[in-house]
Amino acid sequence: MAMQHKTSILIFLLFLFGFFLSMTVSVADESEDPELTECLEECRSHPHYDIGMQKRCEDKCNQEHPPGKWDPRQGRGSGQSRDKEDPEQRLAKCRLNCRRQYSEHGQQMQCQTKCEETYKHERSSNPQRRYEEQEGEREEDNPYVFGRERLRYEIQSDRGYVKVLDKFHEKSKLLLGIANYSISLLVANPRTFVTPVHFDADCVCYVVEGRGTVTTLRKGDRKSHGIRKGDVFVTQAGSVLYLISSDLRQKLVLAKFLRSNSLTGQVSHFYAAGSENPESVYRSFSDEILEAAFNVPRDRIESIFSRQWQGAFVEASEEQIRALSRYSTEGGRWPFGESRGPFNLFEKDPIHSNRYGKLYEANSDDYRKLGWLNLRVSLANIREGSMIAPFYNSRSTKFAVVTEGSGYIEILCPHVARRGPRGSRAQRYREHEQERRERRYREEEEEEEYQEGPHYRRVRAHVSRGTVFIVPPGHPVVEVASRDQNLQTICFEISADRNERIFLAGRNNILRKLEREAKELAFDTSAREVDAVFDAQKEEVFLPGPGARRHRHDRGESEEWGGSESDDASLSELLPEF
């Protein structure tokens, strides 16, 4: 009897041990943050990441999903209500059910059409969603757009400042491939001297406004060139550079695009002159090194590097400005298609021009130094109420800086998950689990004949002076000017060799080249109907915008919309808010 009692107790204890062990494993599994796991898997499986890029990607995942902040209890629940479920998710499930329920292609298409009608109705009847689509996505969901608040001060004084954009890859791991590139802005007051500096980066500068003189020291030579609005010039990494803002009233504003040559990918400024703000590179060496290098006593060296307290931006007299400008040469167009100094975009005929906008461009044929960097510089000036037609670059990644006006952009991206407003971590976990179950079901559906194609998220954002946005190659993009202002952007396009702009609407729509049979097969309708849509737009590149089209329709007008020309506003009136 005693033996049976001990056996029962032993069995009971083993049962309790097994129960607690299973609960521990279950809690451990649930405690693992699924977003962190998915993020790390994406880093390790990315086909274009080397070891360093993969490590930076994993570090960013761990920063975004720190341990101890995931509460699995909030992720549990009997399910997600229909009101909280995202319309895109319901559309995907509805399409999936159509393919499972019907075997004939025609029935599937009819069912999916009803799904899309329901989806459109839900979107149009949801005022919160309409507001979000009009105002753009939340910034953390928008990896390609950087507001001007992302520009941080690198150097600042009463006479001017340098602002540098945050590292691209710190915002999204989608931008790890451009981690070595950076955007910065230099603003110098009238009659200001910018002290000598060199970078560990190649630099392409565009003169947004103002005029002055740029001087570079390289290989023992000194070259000075006059610069003015519209000029593009290149300085190689390691070149010593200094500037004069020579206008008596207008500030000198430069938009700079930099490609770092450093191991970290970060661009560093090295100032030769100055005291503490910025610190001179000479002051960081030990005294014995400086005495040996200059062959003079320490006190004489100290007298040179301790007097200048104005910083990197120093007020200059008119006589000093005239003297420093005396040996400068002007840029512009030179014979045989090459510019010896800075190249001015406005001295070359625009490559596209109509009543809705103009597009200027400089490439290696115009300015040989751009070829060294495999880069193209373009400037788009979109008239108020107008837009640039949907297009994509075949090879280039486009870095755009808004220099005038305001408007909005739309970029189509297959890499960014489509989702509505960000909810709690528990809600995002439920969405993650739902998507995972749907994905697993589709993978297990071995006899499924029709597979759901890729989906694209529309990244939409308001842009204004100082906004920076990135457009990867192959990604369709649209830029629209506001109703009361022109929208002007300066664009730096890398991998420019053999790149093409391919337009998806307008008179030069690439799809107009399809054969009649290809149109009928691709769109499942007559070629005549396809042509009626594709041929309706008589303009190309720059088109009337959505607001202009609605305005014309409301007035019952059939003639083309034209908009009045407005004078370019001066950035000086808005600085330092730029």
Q: Are 56 and 175 in contact (CB under 8 A)?
A: no
**What distance in Å separates the CA atoms of residue 548 and residue 527, rounded to the nearest whole number?**
29
**What distance in Å separates the CA atoms of residue 527 and residue 110, rounded to the nearest whole number?**
22
Find the mean pLDDT for residues 110-128: 72
Residue 466 belongs to domain with CATH number: 2.60.120.10
Torsion of CA 68, 72, 73, 76, to 10 degrees: 160
Torsion over CA: 109, 110, 112, 117 (sign)? positive
Q: Is 167 contained in some domain? A: yes
**What distance in Å separates the CA atoms of residue 396 and residue 499, rounded to the nearest whole number?**
6
Q: Is 211 contained in some domain? A: yes
Residues 318 and 371 in one domain: no
- From residue 506, alpha-carbon distances to 412, 421, 512, 564 in Å are 18, 34, 9, 22
Domain that includes residue 173, residue range: 144-273+308-347
Q: Is 227 contained in some domain? A: yes
Query: Is 50 exceeded by the pLDDT of residue 180?
Result: yes
pLDDT per position as a tens digit, 240-257 = 999 999 998 999 999 999
Residues 238 and 158 in one domain: yes
Mean pLDDT of all residues in the chain? 79
Closest CA to 170 of 196, 194, 140: 140
Residues 340 and 438 in one domain: no
pLDDT per position as a tens digit, 216-235 = 999 889 999 999 999 999 99
DSSP notation for 414-472: SSSPP--S---HHHHHHHHHHHHHHHHHHHH-TT--S------EEEEEEEETT-EEEE-
Q: What DSSP element (H or E) covers 240?
A: strand 240-245
pTM: 0.70
Least confident of 194-203, 271-280, 408-417: 271-280
Q: Is 359 contained in some domain? A: yes
Q: What percent of the chain has pLDDT over 70?
A: 70
Query: Is 50 exceeded by the pLDDT of residue 565?
Result: no
Q: Is 527 contained in some domain? A: no
| Number of compact structural domains in the chain | 3
Residues 208 and 318 in one domain: yes
**What distance in Å separates the CA atoms of residue 181 and residue 399, rounded to the nearest whole number?**
10
Q: Is 168 contained in some domain? A: yes
Find the mean pLDDT for residues 92-119: 76
Residues 179 and 265 in one domain: yes
- Residue 562 has a pLDDT of 34
CA 439 centroid distance within chain: 30
Please tell me which of 99-108, 298-307, 332-341, 417-426 the model is most confident about, judged by mean pLDDT: 298-307
Residues 255 and 394 in one domain: no
Which one has a higher pLDDT value, 506 or 30? Answer: 506
Q: Are 113 and 104 in contact (CB under 8 A)?
A: no
Residues 337 and 264 in one domain: yes
pLDDT band at 446 (very low <50, low <70, confident <90, very high): very low
Residues 314 and 357 in one domain: no
Residue whose structure tokens are 């509460």: 71
Query: Is 80 exceeded by the pLDDT of residue 293?
Result: yes
Structure tokens of 457? 């998220």
Q: What DSSP element (H or E) covers 45?
A: helix 34-45
Which one has a higher pLDDT value, 29 or 321? Answer: 321
Q: Are 188 and 313 in contact (CB under 8 A)?
A: yes
Which one has a higher pLDDT value, 102 or 225? Answer: 225
Write the CB contacts of 81 (distance below 8 Å, at least 6 apart in sequence).
none
Closest CA to 226 of 142, 365, 330: 330
Q: Are 14 and 8 in contact (CB under 8 A)?
A: no
